[in-house]
Structure 1
């Protein structure tokens, strides 16, 4: 029970997004290169985990394939059919920058199943917490449309599965990917039993998504918390948001299970973000969320890998997260930071102001719900 679980499968690395440059297909003035969402970021993380000796100290858990009924907990039958047809025929885009290659349907089902397996592992006390290294990512996928490299929304489906199977009344999903978790927001926008918090770079992706004023609808009003942060936010800015917004709201909500969409694209080396988080910062993120999990749900925490597109640096950021989750410090040091002089640990006034705007907007909802407000 004290061990940290780790879920991955070789087939996750076989999801084929084809050639491209960042997120565009080659053609015209765009010379063929490598698609941003390629296997290397995640394969290299698994390799570093093994090379460091940490992998052998984790409990390896094999994922299972999600059933059609489980995927339909969020996605429409027609959209699932579309992904399946593309996978079995020509391949193509399942929506917006959501590439389906040969066999991607089966791989995506196994990735969703990996998230579900992670939930079962912590809820049935096989392990205390789990890191699921799934691919393709999921948090942008909407009910009727793939988006932003994502085919099926693993974390949304896993949360709905957990609520259904284990009769949970309060689930927290926290998303620290640099891009807004629009698909997960859609899944729970009118749901007061699932608190969704997204910390992301403002004005990034998707367009017009993730603004602080989008706070939920109906019974879900106030249970959707967007924290758009200015470009250049580093460890200090994120931790300020964790302490000033995330902690007091989570303490009011008292979740029975915590799920994290862990995209390591807020790192200072990511080509699709403009943030300045270091590997040390991700360690602090995970450590902070573990403290909240210990406080509210006996440490039951599931971390599901999302984005992160710097193949050299993502492995070090992700390793730091697993070190924090397992309580095992390896001999690995961050080789990319020494002498760089980036002010990741400085809180700037524009970051404080952005966080205060979220506090000013969100606090009125929690007060109207007669919750104890400390923000």
Structure 2
């Protein structure tokens, strides 16, 4: 169905008319830089481009008072001195004769995007707008914001389409207090905001921006504030926030629509945020959100004041909405101590309101238990932070770290006739096969298991695997006979290693023991042999083996882990969000092999969610190996999610059992010293501190 891009060139018309260093960064070039970046990368041409129309005053009235709308309308006739005098009545705002028109277009763009997504014209999209909106309140402009674009879009979705659960994700670096105030007592809107806070010493200097502000009345628990108390937060910190706070709550909430207040002042190089998350991080955050609400995501631009960083981050988000592979996520996956303390404070504040946090199975690590390699934040001056950002960001034409798009997105290698499986459009049946001599050579170690049909299946699997390893196919689904599943996995792993895969994540489900001795990768050098690149020196072994099966949690080593398959939705989600994904992102594989063996026990929706969420860490390079008995419906479901569709719902949220919690607690306590994304630090003592 595609991705919409909503824009209108008139939104570049407003510009500061007097000297004001605080407001001058909100300039027309913000939009033109973002749009130029999309055009240079060929992304605009791949979107359904919609020309924004003005929102009506009735639509503005969904959030704003008639008196305030009339006041903004009157700015069209004011002279420069009158505009400046009016602007001084608000905090960090400037008005222009075109402000009313531009602000109407910004709201209208958000509403058009919601209409396009909820009517099925497109699957997702981005509204490139200014002025931004998330600080704007019922009767007041604030922080460059005139009308609250996202809040009006949420009200519109509720009123016109009858939605009852809307998730707003605000990753702008400033707290969107306007959205919070509007939905403070509304349980139909879950509002999540991370923001630079510094214990109340950063704008907008509000105590209600702290973690203990959780909403009022029936809305308690539906406001989620994650305050960053230091600058310099990076990719690992943002990922940890999603995995340990946002996604558990989002799955429990089960939204029908996701609205993103997409402010890119939270990206590296921005003078407002002074953070270090790279543009690639926003591709991964977007992909993590795509498993929610059937993939219905409407993103609306908020802040972002470093034009290069803004443009690159917008491109990263749009390419992910389009379904392109996520680029490698750079940097060690080690959250800093300050970020971990903030995450723990949010978990503590929100636990009374959310079952998913009451079953929290994240080990609490005090500062004294952090290993020496744990990352601490540099306290850099603004000039130093900006220099770091300039060194990290190269010019846009060459700076984006984009994976080449394979000619084939997803292919399926079947042992049954292709007509027996109706695949989604764009997913191909794998017709080719490896040479007979090559297939037989790989099968010799398990010759008794690869007879006739099994040998034919192996040939198709090898051909598909080579396509993935050579970059011709992004992901694939391979079918093997039940007796040969473990042997096939053995061959696949050895083939990946011999073909140059440096870090291979194997997620095995069901009765599948290690198919080879993980002390030996088949090269004669053993898996302790290191690649000469810095990443392999840091990350160690080439295979991370995670087996989800059986009744007990066991650890053979930090790279050989077994956990029971949870039987509740809460337990399954805790396993995926709290164990599998932190391990996967910490390991940073260049390929994922997902094997569903005998008695794997997964429902189709569970298998789809697991496959969808494993797409991010390896840039979509996934081979799913499935035994023949469960192939038809399961293969179709896996093909859909690997091709970019959202996974089906897991059903009602059920709290994890005590046994499931105990198993995950045991594993995470043992693994957290090595895999830092598993841990959360102890909170600072005392209640929320007052504004300094």
Q: TM-score, normalised by structure 2?
A: 0.49
1:60 alignment counterpart: 49
Cα offsets for 1:190-214 (capped at 9, x unmatched)? 0001111111112332111411111
Q: Is the 8 A contact 1:44 1:315 kept in 2?
A: yes
User: Aligned match of 1:205 in 180, 199, 203?
Assistant: 203
Counterpart in the other structure of 2:273: 273
Distance 1:344 1:162, change over 3 A: farther
Q: Distance in 1 between matches of 2:203 and 2:332?
A: 22
Q: CA deviation at 1:80?
A: 1.1
Whether 1:137 aligns to 2:132 is yes
1:88 to 65, 77, 92: 77
Residue of 140, 160, 167 corresponding to 2:162: 167
Partners of 1:177 and 1:200 within 8 A in 2: yes
Q: Cα deviations across residues 77-102 of structure 1 (Å, max 9, x unaligned)?
A: 11111111123213231621121101
**Greater relative contact order (CA < 8 Å, ≥ 6 in sequence):** 1
In terms of Rg, which structure is larger? 2
Alignment of 1:1-375 (within 5 A): 1=1, 3-20=2-19, 22-23=21-22, 35-90=24-79, 91-92=83-84, 93=87, 95-203=90-198, 204-208=202-206, 209-230=208-229, 231-291=231-291, 293=292, 297-328=293-324, 345-367=333-355
Q: Structure 1 residues 280 and 153 mapped into 2: Cα distance closer, same or farther (>3 Å)?
A: same
SS in 2 for 1:197: strand
Tell me which residue corresponds to 1:29. none
**Aligned partner of residue 96 in structure 1, secondary structure:** coil
Alpha-carbon separation, structure 2, partners of 1:18 and 1:311: 21
Q: Are the equivalent residues in 2 in contact too, given 1:45–1:315 (CA < 8 A)? A: yes
Consecutive unaligned residues of structure 2, counting only runs of 5 or more, are 359-652, 662-692
Give the Cα separation in 2 of the matches to 1:287 and 1:368: 21
Instruction: State the Cα distance separating 1:310 from its structure 2 match.
Output: 0.4
1:222-276 deviation digits (Å, cap 9, x = unpaired): 1110011232111110110100001110111101111000000011211111211
Secondary structure at the counterpart of residue 160 of structure 2: helix
Deviations 1:321-351 (A, max 9, x none): 1111112369xx99xx9xxxx9675311221
| C-alpha contact (below 8 Å) 2:268/2:279 kept by paired residues | no
Q: 1:348 to 1:155 in 2, by over 3 A?
A: same
TM-score by length of 1: 0.89
Listed as ranges, the gaps of 5+ residues in structure 1 are 25-34
Counterpart CA distance in 1 for 2:263 and 2:47 is 21
Shift of 1:309: 0.4
Say if 2:114 and 2:157, in contact at 8 Å, map to a contact too: yes
Q: Is the 8 A contact 1:142 1:184 kept in 2?
A: yes
Distance 1:136 1:329 in 2: 31
Q: Secondary structure of 1:359's match?
A: helix
